[in-house]
Amino acid sequence: MIGIIGTGGHAKVILDIFQNSNRKQLFEFFTSSRSNIDPIFHAYAVYKDQQDILLQSHSRIKKWHVAIGNPLVRKSKIEFLQSYHRHVISAIHRQAILANDIHIGEGTSIMAGAVVNPSVHIGTGCIINTTVSLDHDCLIGEYVNIGPGSKLAGGVQVGSLTELGTGAIVIPNKTIGKKCIIAAGAVVVNNIPDGSIAMGVPAKVVAIRSP
């Protein structure tokens, strides 16, 4: 049995990944709001996402995945599960292409068509979306979201809790700091400091986020 925290769009993708790997796998879902749940989840048991309920389910749920797009919320949920020694698993689509020597942190999801090349390190709780390309020696921090179709050239470093929008491009050996937002379609040709919001071609910092 796999327990999945989240019932939004990202959770639908995670469910599909696990089902493609094992059609006989059983699931239970946990959500912050049981109203307006997508019909796809009606076939499964759905419980309130409360700490006591999560802990009480340990006898039947041996594996967990947090399927929530917001990186801060995802971080909170994963760290809670880890603090009680729950087994947090990654979700990797069978059509992702992965080099042999990469590192993938607990609770990370890698979608269909993603390519992860040699010597890439991906931290805990990341989302590597559809058709993302991570070239050799990229270092991806914890709880990073990389949007669909983004391309990171070799040696790129991305700090924890940073989000890259759809189709972002980063040229080789550039560093993007922690807690940044890189807009969709941006082309990063310079290092981006912590907490920056950057957009455009080439990407320019337009604001600094509050700590």
Per-residue pLDDT, 79:
97
Per-residue pLDDT, 114:
99
Residues classed as catalytic = 136
Which tokens in the block code for residue 193?
């400091």
Taking only the tens place, the pLDDT of each residue in 25-79 is 899 999 987 777 888 998 999 998 888 888 888 788 999 999 999 999 999 999 9
Q: How many CB atoms lie within 10 A of CB 170?
A: 28
Residue 48 near residue 30 (C-beta atoms within 8 A): yes
Per-residue pLDDT, 55:
80
Which tokens in the block code for residue 181?
């937002």
d(CA 93, CA 97): 9
Domains and CATH numbers, the chain: 2-89 (3.40.50.20), 92-192 (2.160.10.10)
Taking only the tens place, the pLDDT of each residue in 70-82 is 999 999 999 999 9
Residue 139 near residue 122 (C-beta atoms within 8 A): no
Rounded mean pLDDT, 140-152: 99
In one letter, which amino acid is 66?
Answer: V
How would DSSP label each residue in 45-101? EEEE--HHHHHHGGGT--EEEE--S-HHHHHHHHHHHHHTT--B--EE-TT-EE-TT
Which pTM does this prediction carry?
0.94
Residues 112-140 as b/e (b if ≥16 CB within 10 A, e otherwise) read bbbbbbebbbbbbbbbbbbbbbbbbbbbb
Whether 167 has a binding-site annotation, put simply, is no
